[in-house]
Structure 1
Amino acid sequence: MDRIRIVGGNKLSGSIPISGAKNAALPLMIASMLTDETLTLENVPHLADVEQLIRILGNHGVDYSVNGRRENQLGPYARTINFTAKNIVNTTAPYELVSKMRASFWVIGPLLARMGEARVSLPGGCAIGTRPVDLFIDGLQQLGAGIDVESGYVLARTKDRLIGNRYVFPKVSVGATHVLMMAASLARGETVLENAAREPEIADLATCLNAMGARIEGAGTRTITIDGVDRLHGAVHSVIPDRIETGTYAMAVAMAGGDVVLEGARAEFLEAALDVIRQTGAEVQPLNSGIRITRNGAGIAPVDVVTEPFPGFPTDLQAQFMGLMTMAKGRSKITETIFENRFMHVQELARLGAHISLSGQTAIVDGVKKLKGAPVMATDLRASVSLVIAGLAAEGETTVNRVYHLDRGFERLEEKLSGCGAVIERISG
């Protein structure tokens, strides 16, 4: 099993290309099932989650081909993938596939909208919380779907087409917003989604669907209006840059010190996080080509954060920020409001010398003058990269085990960091 070895103490200098967003690419790939024509997605990151979803879509009959494969080159535009769902051959998403990736449950929307039926396994538990599918089921029922849950599967059917309706999300849900927006694009009549998720990935999916012939307005606001159409056609769409990867590398620079340009990053996608990074003492400068992050000399100031849905501080940067705060000059508080049980990285950071205590959903971090390298274990995607951030500033050698978690969401992380002067390498086996 691969692991990553880091020798801390080097400042970062240079540029890092930001890849396409995983959280945008996955729903875009699923949207390919809404049409029998080809959807071409540019700027698709090469990640384990993307490869797994390709296999899942293949189970339903979606063909794919890769253009411009440049396996030995860094760059945010390495892959263009064509997805063609000319014939949906299977409307069942089995447990053995859905259990490996929660986002694969989202196929229920396109399958139901286009085929009139879907049989999708419940995704089961998750290391960072239950993340129930109640909102998906409730929303689809409001669009006229008949839904039963039997033997661990959600069985969804509609006699003809889904029917547009008004649905108010009882709580903000990115996944349910994605699914209902896709399903409603082929419904009869108008659908209005209230209290919808506002993340940039939602707006990106709407842009793609509109290019396919959908009629969607308001994506990126609390109210999304979808005027259903009879069919969608093919399109070409470029995946937006990854705001979580952007924030992660920005925090890495704030932790290790240095001067790095994050190429292709878009500041408007993570203003709350960039504001917090500024408060820690780093300089953040939006550029036409990306974002420049610098920290030279000054220590790290403690900052309190609370995770919130967009446009607030993202839960997917909470672990990375905690890694940064381990060496702040004082006490910080980090409150997690989105997922329960998302502090599993605390014990691993403690192995490096961090002082962190937990009180419910709040972590209290007392910054230390130095961290010392040690073997650590990744517990999930974001937790794993928090250990990398801490390792960049720790004295001596840190070894991060279970890096398959990293491969789910970070494209060639060790290559990008080593290109800026970090001593970091992947060790196979």
Structure 2
Amino acid sequence: MFEVEEHQAPHYLVTGGSPLQGEVTLSGAKNAVTKMVIASLLTSDTCTLRNIPILGDLELTVKLCQELGSQIQLDRDKHTLSINTNEIVDYRVSSAVGGLNRICVMMIGPLLHRCGEAVIPLPGGDRIGPRPINFHIQGLQQMGAKITEKDGYYYCQAPERLHGATISLPFPSVMATENLLITASLAKGVTIIENAANEPEIVDLVKMLQKMGAIIEFKVDRRIVIEGVKSLHGASHTLLSDRNEAVSLAVATYLTKGDVYLRHAQQDTLLSFLNTLLKMGLRFEVDDEGIRFIGDTKAPPAISLETDVHPGFMTDWQQPFTVLLTQSEGMSVIHETIYEDRFGYTTALERMGAHIGLYPKCLGEVPCRFREKQHMHSCVVRGPTPLVATRLDIPDIRAGCSYILAALCAEGTSTVYGIEHIERGYEHLDVKLRSLGARIEKVL
């Protein structure tokens, strides 16, 4: 019975060996769109978002907002979304939807501002190691929120209007920074976020909030200062392009020795990635409309790299790049400093023929939270090694994309299960790859 159900599960059949050729247009940023939808809850006016990616994480966020009372118009063809939350009809986020990912914790601030109360389930998310939300909770408590945990829910109250505070983050967490930005926009007084993250998606969120009437300034030394205002109004905003999709498709081009132009790829959001390509002698051309990535028949040289907070090498780029390093000449080293358990996917690459070793030592120079903690957060890759097709089970979004990249350059046909993770985080990735000549079939 189990085998029948497994066979019926949606999956991809990916046959390697076809060079990717042509042009594809990047989607809007996954890591920006959901936060902007949440930010729209701060006002009773209509907010319109353009260049939105149509993917699973957005669908979940839309459902959450609709349960709270939001009226939403989604035009999938034009990639636009209009949201109006004139009235919030329920301050409780259901566990049926809210427990599926971590976005519901972002709703605490808007619900406290609009209703004075919020009840949210403990959040879920990808299996890439613990991602506690204590930074969020502690920051909100500093702003006057009263939060207790009971029976799998957070119960939040703000008897009075939330107020400004100086919040020092122990680590420049992207999502905690976004949460505090959204909440502080309507808090009374001035909020200072110290050791804040400053990723491009955060800058884009600040652009939207400024259009809504928020007063937010980036200062030196990772400080963001927010002067709270009494109310915010509606706004229209066009999202930046998805830099993770850009990196995934660029790496796929090099792995397959292809030639692909990514329309709307933005150089300023990809600087550290492009610098790494230059160090490896990999070719690309930048123009005003996008970036062309040009593969070569020669194996690129090995490299040492470390993930870091922006403007460093992004942790979400680590998985596709690890696949690229299996095809590089020599011994490469990757030091992961953001998440302690993000190399679990490499066992699948080893089954495909990759030579990979994991180590608890910090094999790099970036100051690391995991030093002396025995987390397997450094990786050594020896290449080039030919990869062979196998069955792959996707554990999370980024690892899943790396599996597909590995399958694209492997000999034979790989069967990839767990594709709901891919569809949660990428818009029609299989369709885009097929348009570039990849042999990838979706089986329902």
Partner of 1:397: 413
Correspondence for 1:75? none
Hey, what does 2:46 align to over in structure 1? 38
Task: Find the aligned partners of 1:219 and 1:114 in 2 and give their Cα distance.
Answer: 29
Q: 1:129 touches 1:342 (CA, 8 Å); kept in 2?
A: yes
| Equivalent position to 2:55, from 27, 47, 55 | 47
* Cα distance, 1:353 vs structure 2: 1.0
Match of 2:300 in 1: 300
CA distance in 2, matches of 1:402, 1:95: 22
2:27 counterpart residue number: 19
Query: Quick one: distance in 2 between partners of 1:219 and 1:392?
Result: 44
Q: Is the 8 A contact 1:64 1:83 kept in 2?
A: yes
TM superposition shift of 1:124: 4.9
Tell me how far apart the structure 1 counterparts of residues 435 and 124 of structure 2 sit (CA, whole Å). 39
Structure 2 equivalent of residue 64 of structure 1: 72
Q: Provide, for residues 366-422 of structure 1, a one-character-per-residue CA deviation record: whole Å limited to 9, x for no partner.
A: 113411112211111111110111111111212211111110111111221121222
Partner of 2:128: 128
CA distance in 2, matches of 1:35, 1:140: 19
Q: What amino acid is aligned across from residue 52 of structure 2 in structure 1?
A: V
Check conservation: 2:272, 2:311, Cα contact below 8 A.
yes
Question: 2:399 aligns to what SS in structure 1?
Answer: helix
- What amino acid is the match of 1:53? T
Partner letter of residue 414 of structure 2?
A: T
Is 1:379 aligned to residue 387 of structure 2? Answer: no
Give the C-alpha shift of residue 159 in structure 1: 2.1
Instruction: Quote how far apart the aligned CAs of 1:334 are.
Output: 1.4
Paired with 2:291 and 2:261, the residues of 1 have a C-alpha distance of: 6
Which of 21, 36, 39 is 1:28 aligned to?
A: 36
Give the partner amino acid of 2:83. Answer: F
- Give the SS at the match of 1:321: helix
Say if 1:113 and 1:184, in contact at 8 Å, map to a contact too: no
Residue of structure 1 in register with 2:373 after alignment:
none
Matches within 5 A, 1:151-300: 151-218=151-218, 222-300=222-300
Shift of 1:13: 1.5
Structure 1 residue 364: Cα displacement: 1.2
Q: Aligned pair 1:388/2:396, yes or no?
A: no
Deviation at 1:346, TM superposition (A): 0.9
Q: Distance in 1 between matches of 2:424 and 2:301?
A: 31
Q: What CA distance in whole angstroms lies between the structure 2 residues aligned with 1:113 and 1:169?
A: 22
Q: Note the residue ranges of structure 2 that are not aligned, 5 or more in a row.
A: 1-8, 360-375
Secondary structure of the corresponding residue to residue 93 of structure 1: coil
Distance in 2 of aligned mates of 1:402 and 1:126: 12
Q: Deviations over 1:111-155 (max 9, x none)?
A: 122322211222157511221111111111111222222222222
On the 8 A contact 2:126/2:395 being kept in 1, the answer is: no
Matched, 1:340 2:340: yes
Structure 2 CA distance for aligned equivalents of residues 132 and 419 of structure 1:
39
Distance 2:358 2:220 in 1: 34
The answer to whether structure 1 residue 138 and structure 2 residue 138 are counterparts is: yes
Q: Is the 8 A contact 2:126 2:397 kept in 1?
A: no
> Which whole-Å deviations, capped at 9, do the CAs of 1:209-236 have from their partners, x for residues lacking one?
1111111111897111111111111111
Matched, 1:370 2:386: yes
**Number of aligned residues:** 420
Cα distance, 1:340 vs structure 2:
2.2
Alignment TM-score, normalising by the size of structure 1: 0.94
Shift of 1:308: 0.9
CA displacement 1:28-72 (0-9 Å, x = unmatched): 0111110001111111111011111111111111110123x32xx
Post-superposition offset of 1:298:
2.1
Give 2:428's aligned residue.
412
Q: 1:125 and 1:408, CA in 2 relative to 1: closer, same or farther beyond 3 A? A: closer
Q: Secondary structure at the match of 2:425?
A: coil
* Contact 1:281/1:295 (<8 A) preserved: no
RMSD: 1.6
CA distance in 1, matches of 2:81, 2:125: 31
Distance 1:210 1:187 in 2: 15
Q: Which amino acid aligns with 1:325?
A: L
Contact kept? 1:198, 1:220, Cα under 8 Å: no
* 1:101 counterpart letter in structure 2: N
Specify the alignment match of 2:5 in structure 1.
none
- TM-score of the pair, normalised by structure 2: 0.91
User: In the alignment, what sits opposite 2:96?
Assistant: 96
Counterpart contact for 1:40–1:235, Cα < 8 Å: yes
**Contact conserved, 1:197 with 1:309, CA < 8 A, in 2?**
yes
- Measured against aligned partners, the alpha-carbon deviations of 1:283-307 in whole angstroms (never above 9, x if no partner) come to 1222100111112222122112211
The ranges of structure 1 where at least 4 consecutive aligned residues each deviate by more than 3 angstroms after the TM superposition are none
Instruction: Please give the secondary structure, in 2, of the residue aligned with 1:218.
Output: strand
- Give the whole-Å Cα distance in 1 for the aligned partners of 2:307 and 2:429: 24
Question: 2:117 matched to which residue of 1?
Answer: 117
State the distance in 1 between where 2:63 and 2:200 align: 26
Aligned to 1:147: 147
Superposition deviation, residue 185 in structure 1: 0.5
Partner AA of 1:89 in structure 2? V
Gaps of 5+ in 1: 71-77
For residue 92 of structure 1, give the secondary structure of its aligned residue in structure 2: coil
Q: Is the Cα contact below 8 Å between 1:206 and 1:219 reproduced in 2?
A: no
